[in-house]
Amino acid sequence: MKTIDKATEKMISIAEENLIDTAFDRLDLQLPQCGFGELDLCCRDCNMGTCRIDPFMELPGKGPKRGVCGLTDDMMSARNFLKLVTRGTSAHATAAKNVSTVFKGVAEGKVPYQVVDDEKLKEVLEKLECEDVSCLSERALADFSKDEGTLNFLKMIPEDLINLWQKLDILPTNINQEIVEGAFRLNFGVGADPYDQILHALKLGIVDGASLFISSELQDILFGTPQPKEGESNFGTLNKDYVNIVAIGHAPVLFEKIYEATRNPEIRKYAEEKGANGIEVYGMMCAGNELFVRHGTPMLGNFLQQEFAALTGAVEAVVVDSGCVMPALVETASDFHTKIITTTKEAKIPGAEHIEFDYEKADEIAAQIVNIAIDNLENRKEARINIPKEKTSFTGGYSKLPADKIASAIADGEIKGIVLLWGCNNPKTVHDRSHVEITKGLIKNDCLVFGTGCWSYAAAKSGILTEATELSGDNIRRFCEDAGIPPVVHLGSYVDTSRFCSLVLEVAKALEKPIKEIPVVTCAPEWSSEMEVATSMFFVALGIPNVFGVTHPAGVANVRDILATKFEDTTGGKILFEKEPERTVDVILDNLKGRG
């Protein structure tokens, strides 16, 4: 069984009929995957390698205990873990820098964007002690280069936690420098002490969290703070009578402009002249979340569904930015009419059509991309259209959350705690199953569940976002009726994980307790990317346990022990692992119980 989603199951069959391989097939061809790699026991960081350490090295006559330079298994594992966190943090930092640059352009009147949410602007100005948009843009960009103090976008963190981070020497000064130091520590002959490497990963986790706050706050100001709205998800939302454009990636800066272009009367008229009844943008992964929470556009599918957009035969263009984009998209689409269009200089794909996105020419470039899609409609072949009928209605896009009521319910024992489910999919586990089963298990046990990223699609497609009240325990059902929120709360894209962090900070303040003493856990049950490992370290720094599924991001026992125990007495956070969804529910409940 590869997926619990019926539409994805049908698209897998269509791929097989057309002799097209997908991530599921390519994983099968990789099996068995390298055991040394899975156990963190290989290193190719210098030209004396590649080195491998024998996992059975303590037995007589077995292989090497160290690399050529002398790295032990735990040194190797800690370096590999830091490598994941450094790369993941760089992704979120780049996204934050990009939106900060656009925000500066708004302040200077150089880009075709504007402040949409004045109330959110006022709120953020007060947080950062700024007078106007120009000051705020300077503060955001200063976080990438300042020489003293700490990050401006950590002002929402309570003083006692800031002091603790300072005491642990993990309080970052500027985003770029900490990422550079992470990369430097990975150089040949530099970082070796496992605990020290993990400590810097914790520092980078804080950088990652600050980057999420920058992106989320500035995007709300530019594009609007989300309000709950109804929407639809899955491939059945595709309209075969429309010009269909699929947005894949993360940046609303790009996709907002493409959405605007599809609403331009002249462009819509052009689409009708070409034979279409209309034109629509469908989002996948974080791009889909960003578009839905502000415009209600259809959420087509999550990470493992991206290759199937072209295989429906009804998509004129797949437009991508950077992050979580499979290079296989071009090959997968090559037998269909769909154009794959890349837009960033960092994320080009051989064979794709590249149109560099320029913030100052955003409207012009967005219109160019949409017109390419319209012109491609004539190449669509009716006989090759395969649109699964599955689609599900749901409500999502919550941003204003009742922290005081949640705090009171925790204090009164009405709910057992709050849990964030987040992260990607991974073909190593059944697609969507862990996201759905863990969510069901938690609400049944009176936990309030929040979710972001690719989890959102699993929850929407499965019907949980609609049926959560019926599936919930009595206590959580009563609480949600009173609080005016559902038992399972869709927050939005990956960067909107910052909304959950803000909620946790508010709940802790209301309870007059540090975060490490309130019942909160996060879980990435189907994770696949470095970004998730980076963000997990922000949770640890805040004082929140995070549970990973699929595989542990660290392969060696000593490094796993550092992640699970060494910060419990300081920040209160830790990294845990459980592969099976049923047992994951138990692990989460046990950790909530121990923090109440």
Q: Are residues 269 and 149 in the same domain?
A: no
Nearest to 278 by CA among 314, 243, 307, 304: 243
- Reported as a pLDDT band with limits 50, 70 and 90, residue 596 is low
Q: Are residues 360 and 261 in the same domain?
A: yes
Nearest to 79 by CA among 553, 561, 593: 553
Query: d(Cα 328, Cα 306) in Å, to the nearest integer?
Result: 10
Structure tokens given for 124? 């953020």
| Domain range enclosing 405 | 395-593
Structure tokens given for 525? 């049950």
Q: Are residues 367 and 409 in the same domain?
A: no
Q: Are residues 248 and 158 in the same domain?
A: no
Phi, psi angles (nearest 5°) of residue 510: -65, -35
Query: d(Cα 417, Cα 427) in Å, to the nearest integer?
Result: 30
Q: What count of other Cβ atoms lies within 10 Å of the Cβ of residue 77?
A: 28
Q: Are residues 215 and 243 in the same domain?
A: no
In a domain, 37, yes or no: no
In a domain, 32, yes or no: no
Whether the bond into 50 is cis, omega within 30 of 0: yes
Which helix (DSSP H) or strand (DSSP E) does residue 396 occupy? Answer: strand 392-396
Start-to-end Cα distance in the chain: 38
Whether the bond into 265 is cis, omega within 30 of 0: no
Whole-Å CA distances, 437 to 70, 444, 466, 525:
44, 11, 15, 10
Q: Are residues 543 and 405 in the same domain?
A: yes
> Is 62's pLDDT higher than 80?
no
Nearest to 172 by CA among 132, 213, 129, 228: 213
CA 155 to chain centre: 23
> Is 371's pLDDT higher than 90?
yes
Coil, helix or strand at residue 577:
strand
Mean per-residue pLDDT for 99-121?
97
> Is 59's pLDDT higher than 70?
no
- Reported as a pLDDT band with limits 50, 70 and 90, residue 61 is low
In a domain, 51, yes or no: no
Q: Are residues 338 and 240 in the same domain?
A: yes
Q: Which pLDDT score is estimated for 595?
A: 77
Burial of 266 (0-12, 13-18, 19+ CB in 10 A): exposed
Q: Are residues 249 and 355 in the same domain?
A: yes
Q: Are residues 239 and 281 in the same domain?
A: yes
Whole-Å CA distances, 349 to 27, 87, 355, 412:
21, 19, 12, 54
CATH code (residue 415)? 3.40.50.2030
In a domain, 60, yes or no: no
Query: d(Cα 48, Cα 50) in Å, to the nearest integer?
Result: 7
Mean per-residue pLDDT for 87-100?
97
Q: Which residue has the tokens 């209600």?
A: 296
Mean per-residue pLDDT for 454-481?
95
Angle, CA 558 vertex, CA 556 and CA 561 arms, to 5°: 110
CATH code (residue 178)? 1.20.1270.30
In a domain, 291, yes or no: yes
In a domain, 489, yes or no: yes
CA torsion 31→32→33→37, rounded to 10°? 180
Q: What count of other Cβ atoms lies within 10 Å of the Cβ of residue 181?
A: 17
Q: Are residues 405 and 348 in the same domain?
A: no
Residue where a domain stops, chosen among 192, 223, 254? 223
Q: Which residue has the tokens 């590249």?
A: 354
> Is 435's pLDDT higher than 80?
yes
pLDDT tens per residue across span 178-207: 999 999 999 998 989 999 999 999 999 999
Residue where a domain stops, chosen among 325, 352, 384? 384
Share of the chain above pLDDT 90, in %: 96
Q: Are residues 279 and 174 in the same domain?
A: no
In a domain, 38, yes or no: no
In a domain, 569, yes or no: yes
Number of structural domains the chain divides into: 3
Q: Which pLDDT score is estimated for 214?
A: 97
Residue where a domain stops, chosen among 384, 411, 435? 384
Q: Are residues 109 and 215 in the same domain?
A: yes
pLDDT tens per residue across span 209-264: 999 999 999 999 999 999 999 999 999 999 999 999 999 998 899 999 999 999 99
Angle, CA 294 vertex, CA 290 and CA 300 arms, to 5°: 50
pLDDT tens per residue across span 507-524: 999 999 999 999 999 999
